[in-house]
Structures are given as structure tokens and as C-alpha cells.
Amino acid sequence: MNKKIVVILFLIATAFTAAAQTAARKPVDSDFFTQVKRIANLKVLDDNIFFTVSQADKEKNNYTSALYQLTDNKPVRVAKGISDYFFHNKDIIFREARRADADEATPSTVFLKLSYGYGEADEWLKLPFQAAQTEWIDKDTFFYTSSYDHNADHNADKGKNYHIYEELPFWSNGRGDISGRRTQLYFYNKGESRLLSDTLASVSGLKLSPDKQTLVYTLKPAWYGKQPEGSLLVSLDAASLEKKEWNLFEKASYGNITFLNNDEIILTINRSHEHDRIENPGIYRLNIRTGKLTPVYDGAFYAIGNSIGSDIGGAGRSEITFDDKGIRFVTTDVDYAPLIHLAWKDAGITHLSKGRISILEYQPYKDGFLVVALEEQQGAEIYFIDSTGNASPLTAINKPVFDEYNIVKPIEIRFTGQNGNTLNGYVLPPANYEKGRKYPAILDIHGGPKTAYGTVFFHEMQYWANQGYAVFFTNPEGSSGRGSKFSDIRGKVGKTDYNDLMRFTDAVLAQTDFIDAGRLGVTGGSYGGLMTNWIIGHTDRFKAAASQRGISSWLSFSNTSDIGYSFTYSYWGADIWKSGQGLWEASPLKYADKVKTPTLFIHSEQDYRCWLVEGLQMYYALQYFDVPSKIVIFKNENHELSRSGKPQNRIKRLEEIKGWFDNYLKEQELK
């Protein structure tokens, strides 16, 4: 037989086999995320690898967690109910928070111990108070933080029948009422606790030096009423308990503190407020003995942390580590999150990981690194990154589940942004789509705006793709991953970013042949909800919309959100008294009388980031102007509904959005 014919027959057979395998795979449904395990808290003890695994329980409507050890390349469960832990003298110590028992006057904090060989956990230490962060000198001597309400004495039944607010902010998303609440610093020494901070101040970010002689932390100075912006840096002598405040810049916030040695720390300093613009924090080196502050990197392009969005990823901790030539950290590079090395000498950047792997957290290990990461369209796994940057999987915790399902691969789309930048985005084609047929499509807009979409698995998008939709997404100007200048859209929200999104939509329609331009939908959450609200007031090209936890009016947002006044100032450089008309002009609500797009609103009762009033105002307006609209309000949920809300509510949210788009996009095909 002719060789060409043999090759053609082989390719046809291979294509049919691949198509059959794809068709045989299960569709990604609204509850798929409940099968995905989140991996976090990766730690190493004597070359033994430990980590935690958490998972949604659909039936019990909660989340479970457990501690695992990697043994002979297999995950072996050590103990249930552990979400965080640390090592002490080769024992595993973890926290068991207890509420006050009948015979206890106050809540307590209990630490349990698992010794080598494991078995049942024994009580290691019981404290007659609620301890938050701890930095240990030894078992009997340590620093800790604890929450305190300075209104507690005269508000004994606060939260039962009424709310009393006396400060700003007065509530916080995921925390509820915070008026009067402070985080205080204590020193515990053999059963005695000593308060080290002002009762009206608040501390965070404790770090103890390697020799356990110096504690460094950040401090919000004492306030009553409006909380001050920024923070101070404080170092404390562990022996004398004497403190020194490091007010290094006029207006700054400090974070990511790491000891290089007993005398020096590496930290990030955010000077956005001082410079009056949005920018990445700079990286500095401070000698706490001499006071010498040395700039290491200005953050012009690379910022510390993975800001790639995902609704199935792990917790992720982007710690700083170092070698003799510089520091290492996880960053965001356009649309993935690599591990990089920053040189002391010239701030030169070297990528320590290859490919488009998005790292959630990492640990130095042998001659390379252990990482928890998302790669391509898979769930989180543990990988070993060798000295050449190549990643090898050490686990297959999520892979068997993902291999059973019809996971769609994204297609890259390149386009030119409003300001001439060459940008990119992606399209997920409908699962098992037929060539020559046109399908409805959904533009999905990320939150932030200083976050980013990547090529990693996103459950909601895969669900819609498996329901017969194309899904397209990009990172418009204002997103992270392309440096401070690109992220700074102060005064341009709804302008440059809107134009980028429309240009991207045009490029998607021009570069694909399976999307029906007459059946486009748009959705997004938080900033994505704001942009959805804005889009429907400025164009009719989208035939349906689903606005989630968004902003409808900068006027109400700035005076109700837990971050309202600071966030509004960051993105507009003003408040409603200085630029009330300007903020109204930039508010989607102003243009609600122009909306023709049927719109679903998704909001949560306890969302104090984009408070319920933001969804209600826009819904009210559309109802007033006779635009088909609907609002779904989730009880006992907050801004994090789509990522960590109760499993059954997360499923309901997805099904409501799908149903709305089905009604206005798929029904149009039948007509």
C-alpha cells in the first residue's frame, strides 16, 4: 500500500479515536468543583513532605480538611481536621480552636501534638484566651496576637439585637462588625501574658529573627474614629521588650517581612498613597541595627504574589526566600505565575521555573524547589522544579478526576489595546462543537481590577463551555502582570479598560468561526460586575448580562463599602465632596436609563466589599425602566461566594447564571 495512504488512514483513525475519547468524557457540571481538592501549607521536615488537602462536601454543605504526607510518591493521610500546622522538635503541632465550655469563663486556644508515628493527637498547650498569630521562642515563651473590642464593656450584647458603629470602617467583608475591634500584641512567659501594644492600636505580620532575639511587625497607630491609612514598622527586643518604630516614609504600608539574618530584613513597602498613583510595592533591605535602608527593586514590572484568578486553586503563600546572590519569590507575569530570582547586584531577573506553570506556593528542596501549582487545565498538584527549571509532578491527587471530564483547551487571541499595547486573551470553544455551526458566547471579566486571568482551569468557564457556550476572557489595562504603569488606570475606569474589552471582543469574532455575534453575553464579579454594569449602559451588542457583586454607583460605594473611601481615592484621586459630579459621571447607575440588555444580578447579604445596595440600585433602575431583570440574593454569604461560599450556594449561583443565558442566548437560536 502507498505510504501516503497509510499515513492518511493512520491520522484518520487517530482523529476518530481522539474524538471518541473526548465524547466519552463526562461534561463539567455545576458541582464539578466539589470533586477538586485544594492543596496548601506545603512544608518539609527532614526531607519529609507534608501538606493539607481541603475539599467541598456537597451533601454536608461545608468543607473538610486533612493533613497529608507524601510517602513513596503517594499522599498518605496523617490526620483529619487540620488546616494549618507547624513543627516543634520534630513534632507536628496544630491548632484546635474551642469555644468556651460550660465550666470555662472565656474561650480558649488549644494546640495538639502529633509525634512521629502519629496515631492520636495529644494536648500540647492550652491557653485561656483566643490566640491568632504566634511567634515561638519556645513552648513557654512566645509572642501572639489576639482580637480585642474596646467597646465590649458598654456593648455587652453587641451583635445580638442591634449594631453600634463609632468608627470607619465599621464592617469588613468576611469579618462582619469591626467597629472598636483591634488586634493586640502580647508576650506570653510561663503562664503570664503581658500586653505590648496600645489598646487602640492594631498589629499584624509578626516575624521573629532566627536567633529569636528580635520581633518585627507592622502597626496601625492608635486611632478612634477614622482608621489611619498606611502603617508603621516596629522592631522589638525579645529580652527587654523595648520597641523602635521605623517610620521610613511619609505615607507607606509594610508587608512580606522576611529575616535575611539576625540583623537584616527584606520587606515590601507600598508607597502608592505617597506617590498618589497605583503601583506595585517596592522591595527593600533594612538593617534593624544600623537603620540602613537599601532599595532592592522598585516593583516596576514584577510584584510579589500570584494574582492569577482561579475558583479551584489552593490557599497559596508567596513567601520570600533567599540565597547569597539575591531573593526568590512567586510573581505574576502577564497570565501565569512563575518563581523568579531577583539579584542583589543589579535587580536582574532570572526565571527559576519554565513553561506556563502558575505557582501557588513553594519551598526550597534539595537542589530545587517543591511547589503547589496549577498547570494548563488541571487541578493543583505538587511538583518538583529542578535546577534547570523543569517541573516534574510528584502527585496525581486531582489528575484522575480531571482525566474523566471533558476539559476544553483555550485558544489564544492577540489584539491591539486602546493605548497601542499588544495584548492577548483566550477563548474556550464549546465542548464538542461542530465545525460550521455558530454558538452563543460569554465574555467573562475578572475582578480587581489589579488581578489577571491565566490559562489555568477555571470551573465556571469550563461549566459554561460544557453547556454549549464559547467563553472568552482577557486582561485589559488595569490588570496585574504587566507592570505598574499598565495597572495604573486612575481616572480611566470605564474608559481605557472598556475599550480594551470591546477591542478584544472584536478580535475574538474576527479570529474564530464558531461564535454567533448576535448571541453574546457578558458577566463578571466585583470589578467585573462594575464593568458588566458599565457595558450594558454603553452598548447593546450583548444580548444578556449577569452582573455579580459589582458596583453601580461610586457615590454609594465610597460611603458604604469596607474599603470604599480608600479604594475610591486609589482609582479616582478624589472623594464625593471634591468630585461628586465626576464620580457620578463614572457610575454605571447614571446610564441605567440607556440599558436594553436583560440582566441578572447576583449578590450576597453579607458582602461588605460591594454592599448589597450596589446590586439593588442597578436592579431597581432596570425594573423602573422596564428592562427584563432579576436579582438573586444569597443569605449568609459574602464577597467570596464564588470561591469559598457554601457548596450548595456556589452550585445555585452557576445554575442561575446558566439559566439566564439559556433564556436569552440559546432561545434566540430557536427563534
What SS3 class is residue 263? coil
Number of H helices, E strands in the chain: 14, 38
**How many Cα atoms within 13 Å fall on the side-chain side of residue 126?**
10
Asked if residue 185 has pLDDT above 60, the reply is yes
482 and 617 belong to one structural domain = yes
pLDDT at 318: 74
Q: Which of 272, 300, 328 is the last residue of a domain?
A: 300
- Tell me the one-letter amino acid at 461: M
Cα–Cα distance between 97 and 114 in angstroms, integer?
16
Domain shared by 633 and 498, yes or no: yes
C-beta neighbour count of 668 within 10 angstroms: 14
pLDDT value of residue 604:
98
Calpha distance 76→56 (Å, rounded): 19
Amino acid 20: pLDDT: 47
More confident residue, 119 or 85: 85
How far is Cα of residue 570 from the mean position of the Cα atoms in its chain?
19
Q: Are 209 and 136 a contacting pair, CB within 8 Å?
A: no
**In a 10 Å sphere around its CB, with 0-12 CB exposed, 13-18 middle and 19+ buried, how is residue 441 labelled?**
buried
Instruction: Kindly state the DSSP code that residue 465 receives in the 8-state scheme.
Output: H
Do 570 and 431 share a structural domain? yes
Judging by beta carbons within 10 Å of its beta carbon (0-12, 13-18, 19+), is residue 199 exposed, middle or buried? exposed
Looking at residue 342, what is its pLDDT? 98
pLDDT tens digits, one per residue of 225-246: 999 989 999 999 999 999 999 9
The yes-or-no verdict on residue 155 having pLDDT over 60 is no
pLDDT tens per residue across span 196-221: 999 999 999 999 999 999 999 999 99
Q: Are residues 529 and 663 in the same domain?
A: yes
Grid cell digits, residue 158: 453587641
- H helix or E strand, kind and range, residue 14: helix 3-24
pLDDT per residue as tens digits for the range 26-62: 999 999 999 999 999 999 999 999 999 999 999 999 9
Number of domains in the chain: 2
How much of the chain, in percent, has pLDDT values that exceed 90? Answer: 88
Does 98 reside within a domain?
no
Residues 6+ apart with CB under 8 A from 193: 129, 186, 187
Phi, psi of 167 (to 5 degrees): -140, 175
Question: Given CA atoms 633, 638, 639, 642 in this order, what sign does their dihedral have?
Answer: negative
Joined together, the cell numbers standing for residue 127 give: 491557653
C-alpha span between 304 and 293 (Å, rounded): 19
- pLDDT at position 98 is 53
DSSP state of 594: G
**CA-wise closest residue to 376 among 349, 408, 405, 401:** 408
pLDDT average, residue stretch 130-151: 94
Domain CATH code at residue 202: 2.130.10.120
Q: How confident is the model at residue 385 (pLDDT cuts 50, 70, 90)?
A: very high
User: Distance between CA 259 and CA 478 in Å, rounded?
Assistant: 32
- Residue 657: give its domain's CATH number: 3.40.50.1820
Query: What was the pLDDT predicted at 7?
Result: 39
User: 158 or 245: whose pLDDT is higher?
Assistant: 245
Instruction: Decide if 250 is inside a domain.
Output: yes
Does residue 77 form part of some domain? no
Q: Which pTM value belongs to this model?
A: 0.94
Q: Half-sphere exposure of residue 277, counting CA atoms within 13 Å on the CB side?
A: 11
Residue type, 53: V
CA distance 338 to 351: 7
Question: What b-and-e string marks burial along 493-520, b requiring 16 or more CB atoms within 10 Å of the CB?
Answer: bbebbbbbbbbbbebbbeebebbbeebb
Which has the closest alpha carbon to 521: 414, 444, 588, 424? 444
Domain end marker among 285, 300, 315: 300
Structural contact between residues 439 and 470, judged by C-beta atoms closer than 8 angstroms: yes
Q: Is residue 407 part of a domain?
A: no
Q: Which helix (H) or strand (E) holds 670?
A: helix 667-670
Average pLDDT over residues 577-587: 97
Q: Is residue 49 in a domain?
A: no
The mean pLDDT value of the chain amounts to 93
State how far Cα 66 lies from the chain centre: 22
pLDDT confidence of 13, banded at 50, 70, 90? very low
The answer, yes or no, to whether the previous bond of 449 is cis (omega within 30 of 0) is yes
Please name the helix (run of DSSP H) or strand (run of DSSP E) that holds residue 557, with its range, or none: helix 554-558
CA distances from 610 to 97, 105, 165 (A): 30, 37, 19
CB 621 within 8 A of CB 631: no
pLDDT digit string (tens) for 517-566? 999 999 999 999 999 999 999 999 999 999 999 999 999 999 999 999 99
Is it the case that residue 156 has pLDDT exceeding 60? Answer: no
Q: Is 266 exposed, middle or buried (0-12, 13-18, 19+ CB in 10 A)?
A: buried
pLDDT the model gives residue 125: 95
Specify the pLDDT at position 395.
Answer: 97
173 found inside a domain = yes
- Length in residues, the chain: 671
CA–CA separation, 613 vs 627, rounded Å? 19
489 pLDDT band (50/70/90 cuts)? very high
Plot region of 72 (φ>0 → left; ψ -120 to 50 → alpha; else → beta): left
- The predicted pLDDT at position 315 comes to 61
What is the 3 state secondary structure string of 189-221? Answer: ECCEEEECCCCCCEEEEEEECCCCCEEEEEEEC
C-alpha–C-alpha distance, residues 610 and 524, integer Å: 13
Beta strands per DSSP E along 72-153: 74-80, 85-88, 91-98, 108-114, 122-127, 134-138, 141-149
**What would the pLDDT profile of 311-338 be if each residue is shown by its tens digit?**
997 666 778 999 999 999 999 999 999 9
Same domain flag for 296 and 417: no
Dist. CA 669–CA 544, nearest whole Å:
14
List, in sequence order, every residue forming a beta bridge with 194; answer none if it has no partner: 187
Q: How confident is the model at residue 160 (pLDDT cuts 50, 70, 90)?
A: low
Residue 179 located in a structural domain: yes
Amino acid found at 315: A
Radius of gyration for the alpha carbons in the chain, expressed in angstroms and rounded = 26
Left, alpha or beta for 287 (phi > 0: left; psi -120 to 50: alpha)? Answer: beta
Rounded CA separation 306/481 (Å): 9
154: domain range?
131-300
Structural contact between residues 41 and 52, judged by C-beta atoms closer than 8 angstroms: yes
Which residues on neighbouring strands pair with residue 415, listed in sequence order?
423
Question: Which residue matches cell numbers 510561663?
Answer: 190
Buried b (16+ CB within 10 A) or exposed e, 104-120: eeeebbebbebeeeeee
Nearest Cα to Cα of residue 457 among 561, 604, 356, 580: 356
Domain boundary, last residue among 300, 321, 352? 300
* 235 in a structural domain: yes
- Name the band, by pLDDT with cuts 50, 70 and 90, for residue 119: confident
Angle at 522 between CA 518 and CA 526, to 5 degrees: 170
DSSP 168: B
pLDDT tens column, 594-650: 999 999 999 999 999 999 999 999 999 999 999 999 999 999 999 999 999 999 999
Burial letters for 288-309: b for 16+ Cβ neighbours within 10 Å, e otherwise? beeeeeeebbebebbbbbbbbb
Please state the rounded mean pLDDT for residues 111-118: 86
**Residue whose cell numbers read 489589579:** 450
CA angle 317, 320, 325 (to 5 degrees): 155
Tell me the β-bridge partners of 85: 94
